Amino acid sequence: KMEKFFKAIEEKIRKSGYPGEVSGEEIYAEISDEAEDQEEGSYLFMKKQNDDVMFEYRVDILEDNINLATLTIHTPERKYFIDFDAA
């Protein structure tokens, strides 16, 4: 079941035009780690992927799950915006 979820993350990121390698599983692990001890609410998490690329996640932490709402990928050339809540 998670496999499908990870694939969906990767697909949406690819559709944004972002040419870099992405792993839905790694992204999910990253936001899960960040969300671990947080209160419920909406958060922005910034994660440097390498010298040039930064991922900016907007995450909603709910009582029993985590919703990855948006991802903005900052690269030297441009920004890529992915809205995971959009159908």
End-to-end Cα distance, the chain: 19
- What's the pTM value of the predicted model, to 2 decimals? 0.90
> What percent of the chain clears pLDDT 70, i.e. is strictly above it?
99
Is the pLDDT at 87 greater than 80? The verdict is no
Q: What is the per-residue pLDDT across 34-47, written as a single tens digit (0 to 9) for each?
A: 998 899 999 999 99
Mean pLDDT, all residues of the chain: 95
Say how far apart CA 68 and CA 20 lie, in whole Å: 19
CB contact burial 1-13 (16+ within 10 A = b; e otherwise): eeeeebeebeebb
17 burial level (CB within 10 Å; 0-12, 13-18, 19+): exposed
Q: What is the per-residue pLDDT across 2-16, written as a single tens digit (0 to 9) for each?
A: 899 999 999 999 999
Q: What tokens were used for 53?
A: 């690329």
